[in-house]
Amino acid sequence: MLLGVQVSSEGKIYETLERAQSLGCNTMQIFSRNPQQWRRSFLSTDEIDKFRRRRRISRINPIFIHIPYLINLASPNPRLYTASIEAYIEDILEAEALKADYIVTHMGSHKNTSEEAGLARLTSALNTILEKTKNTSVGILLENTAGSGSWLGYKFSHQKKIIAGLKHKERIGLCFDTAHAYLAGYDITTSWGLESTLKEIDKLIGVDLIKLIHLNDAKGKLGSRQDRHEHIGKGSLGKEAIKRIINHPKLRNRPFILETPKKTEEDDIMNLQTVRNLRR
> What pLDDT does 37 receive?
86
Average pLDDT by stretches of 10, the chain with 280 residues: 95 96 97 87 95 94 96 97 97 97 96 96 98 97 96 97 96 98 98 98 98 97 96 98 98 98 93 97
Sign of CA dihedral 33, 36, 39, 41: negative
* DSSP 8-state symbol, 221: -
Please count the other Cβ atoms lying within 10 Å of the Cβ belonging to residue 271: 25
pLDDT for 209-218, tens place per residue? 999 999 999 9
Residue 6's φ and ψ, nearest 5 degrees, are -75, 110
CATH of the domain at 206: 3.20.20.150
Which helix (H) or strand (E) covers residue 273, if one does? helix 265-278
CA-based radius of gyration for the chain? 18
Q: In what order do the strands lie in the sheet with 63-66?
A: 3-5, 256-258, 210-214, 172-177, 139-143, 102-106, 63-66, 28-30
Residue 261's pLDDT is 96
Per-residue confidence (pLDDT) for residue 8, from 0 to 100: 92
Say if strands 229-230 and 217-218 run parallel, antiparallel, or are unpaired: antiparallel
Say whether the peptide bond before residue 62 is cis (omega within 30 degrees of 0): yes
Helical residues (DSSP H) of 23-77, grouped into ranges: 45-58
User: Which pLDDT score, from 0 to 100, does residue 108 have?
Assistant: 94
Instruction: Provide the 10 A C-beta neighbour count for residue 270.
Output: 15
- Structural domain including 254 reads 3-278
| Per-residue model confidence as pLDDT tens digits over 235-256 | 999 999 999 999 999 999 999 9
Alpha-carbon distance values, 27 to 24, 108, 258 (Å): 9, 26, 11
Query: How many distinct structural domains can be found in the chain?
Result: 1
* Exposure letters 149-168 (e unless 16+ CB within 10 A, then b): ebbbbbbbebbbbbbeebee
